[in-house]
Structure 1
Amino acid sequence: MDKQTEIEAAVFRRLLKHLDENKSVQNIDLMNLADFCRNCLSKWYVSEAQTRGVEIEYEAAREYVYGEPYADWKKKYQPAATPEQLAAFAAKNDK
């Protein structure tokens, strides 16, 4: 692995660690602010694996990104979206 790839891998792991340490930041908040969320990272992980001939199930990618099965994470850390969050999401996606 070249240094650039090592750095990129380390940055990705650091991003996952940061998200894990900040579980109060909800996916809808990430979508509203940055147009991506933990689920997007999981989808990108699957997509990039596929382009390299590696088959990874979406749920396995989610478990990697979330650090545990998504259903467990969701039950523990993801409250229902507030009306304000939903309105911001709808407004952003109506454009």
Structure 2
Amino acid sequence: MPDATPTQTEIELQAAAYRRLQQHLMQDRTDVQNIDLMNLAGFCRNCLSRWYQEAAAERGMEMTKDEARELFYGMTMDEWKATYQTEASGTQQDAFKTAFTENVERKS
């Protein structure tokens, strides 16, 4: 099996792509709701912040869920919700239950 360790250049490119995705979701497309991301793609902004938290934990760094979210969102979760989050419809909420079970709970 080939060595899967990324080179420094690959790490830098991955980090740049992550930063661009974060910018896209946090600045360019604040109109896209987390529930829609989860329902369509199987992940959302909260997942990305959780993955950030998990990566920190793998490196021995303590980080709470709220700290990770604030780092990813650039504001507190309460600020994000008040500024950008809209009320989810019953259809969206039903689809979310399925998407969350398939993409988060079953992978935990």
For 1:54, the aligned partner's letter is M
Which of 14, 19, 29 is the aligned partner of 2:25?
Answer: 19
Count the aligned residue pairs: 95
Match of 2:85 among 73, 78, 84: 78
1:65-85 deviation line (CA, Å, top 9, x unaligned) = 111111101111101101221
Are 2:48 and 1:4 aligned? no
Q: Which residue of 1 aligns with 2:45?
A: 38
Provide structure 2 residue ranges, at least 5 long, that are not aligned to the other structure: 1-6, 103-108
TM-score in terms of structure 2 length: 0.79
- Counterparts of 1:11 and 1:78 in 2: how far apart (Å)? 25
Segments ≥4 residues shifted beyond 6 Å: none
Deviation at 1:55, TM superposition (A): 1.4
- With over 3 angstroms needed to count, the CA separation of the structure-2 counterparts of 1:92 and 1:17, relative to structure 1, is closer
- Structure 1: 5+ residue runs without aligned partners? none
Partner letter of residue 52 of structure 2? Y
1:89 positional shift: 2.3
Q: State the Cα distance separating 1:93 from its structure 2 match.
A: 5.8
Relative distance call for 1:13 and 1:89 in structure 2 (3 A) is: same
C-alpha separation between the residues in 1 aligned to 2:55 and 2:97?
A: 29
Q: Which has the larger radius of gyration?
A: 2
Structure 1 vs Structure 2: percent identity of aligned residues?
46
Which amino acid counterpart does residue 94 of structure 2 have in structure 1?
A
